[in-house]
Structure 1
Amino acid sequence: FDPLVRKIPWRRNRQPTPVRELVLDNCKSNDGKIEGLTAEFVNLEFLSLINVGLISVSNLPKLPKLKKLELSDNRICGGLDMLAEKLPNLTHLNLSGNKLKDISTLEPLKKLECLKSLDLFNCEVTNLNDYRESVFKLLPQLTYLDGYDREDREAPDSDAEVDGVDEEEDDEEDEDKEEDEDGEEEEFDDEEDDDEDEDVEGEEDEDEVSGEVSAPLGCPAFLS
Structure 2
Amino acid sequence: MGYCSRRRANEEWKNTACVDKVRELVLDNCRSNEGKIEGLTEEFVNLEFLSLINVGLLSVSNLPRLGKLKKLELSDNRISGGLDVLAEKLPNLTHLNLSGNKLKDISTLEPLKKLDSLKSLDLFNCEVTNLNDYRERALHYHAERRGDVGR
TM range (shorter): 0.7 to 0.9
1:56 maps to: 59
Matched, 1:68 2:81: no
Structure 2 CA distance for aligned equivalents of residues 24 and 17 of structure 1 = 17
Verify the 8 A CA contact 2:32 2:57 in the aligned structure 1.
yes
Matched, 1:28 2:31: yes
TM superposition shift of 1:57: 0.4
The alpha-carbon distance between structure 1 residues 38 and 110, as it changes in their structure 2 partners (threshold 3 A), is same
Structure 2 CA distance for aligned equivalents of residues 103 and 113 of structure 1 = 19
2:132 maps to: 129
1:104 maps to: 107
1:95 maps to: 98
Unaligned runs of 5+ residues in structure 1 are: 4-9, 143-224
TM-score, normalised via structure 2 length: 0.82
TM superposition shift of 1:16: 8.6
Verify the 8 A CA contact 2:67 2:90 in the aligned structure 1.
yes
TM superposition shift of 1:17: 7.7
| Higher Cα radius of gyration | 1
Structure 2 CA distance for aligned equivalents of residues 139 and 77 of structure 1 = 20
Which residue identity is paired with 1:77? S
Structure 2 CA distance for aligned equivalents of residues 40 and 17 of structure 1 = 6
1:120 to 119, 123, 143: 123
RMSD: 2.1
TM-score, normalised via structure 1 length: 0.56
Q: Deviations over 1:113-158 (max 9, x none)?
A: 000000000000000002211111112258xxxxxxxxxxxxxxxx
1:79 maps to: 82
Unaligned runs of 5+ residues in structure 2 are: 1-5, 11-16, 147-151
Q: Deviations over 1:80-128 (max 9, x none)?
A: 0110000000000000000000110001101100000000000000000
Structure 2 CA distance for aligned equivalents of residues 16 and 84 of structure 1 = 23
Structure (1 or 2) with the greater helix fraction: 1
Verify the 8 A CA contact 2:27 2:51 in the aligned structure 1.
yes
Verify the 8 A CA contact 2:51 2:74 in the aligned structure 1.
yes
Which residue identity is paired with 2:36? K
The alpha-carbon distance between structure 1 residues 100 and 18, as it changes in their structure 2 partners (threshold 3 A), is same
The alpha-carbon distance between structure 1 residues 43 and 123, as it changes in their structure 2 partners (threshold 3 A), is same
Which residue identity is paired with 2:89? K
Q: How many residues align?
A: 132
The alpha-carbon distance between structure 1 residues 76 and 17, as it changes in their structure 2 partners (threshold 3 A), is closer
Matched, 1:139 2:142: yes
